[in-house]
Amino acid sequence: DVKVTQSSRYLVKRTGEKVFLECVQDMDHENMFWYRQDPGLGLRLIYFSYDVKMKEKGDIPEGYSVSREKKERFSLILESASTNQTSMYLCASSYNTEAFFGQGTRLTVV
């Protein structure tokens, strides 16, 4: 069974803090993704990576950065958290036709 694990289910951070969301997959997938999910907006792609140290901006990269130093780990970084980044964050990995998702991190910025 493919497993995608996100480090936290729930996080509460203060405005201006630097926030790290970690994601690890155990199936040697090349492609990894970070999405945010907001009611009525579906999933919006923030960044994706198709190889170690490779990254591409998705549809809403502003205010975020990513790091992929090892194949199994893809980190999302909020450089200076703001209240409009309160959301559910979903990590996914894929090899070909199927994407596998983590359980999500619900981030609240106060």
Partner 1 sequence: GEDVEQSLFLSVREGDSSVINCTYTDSSSTYLYWYKQEPGAGLQLLTYIFSNMDMKQDQRLTVLLNKKDKHLSLRIADTQTGDSAIYFCAESIRSNYQLIWGAGTKLIIKP
| Interface with partner 1 (CB under 8 A) | 4, 31, 35, 40-45, 48, 50, 90, 92, 94, 96-104
- CA pair distance 6, 4, nearest whole angstrom: 7
Shorter beta-carbon distance to partner 1: residue 31 or 67: 31
Q: Which is nearer to partner 1, 1 or 14 (CB)?
A: 1
By C-beta, is 4 or 107 nearer to partner 1? 4
The rounded distance, in Å, linking the Cα atoms of 4 and 101 is 6
Task: Count CB neighbours of 76 within 10 A.
Answer: 23
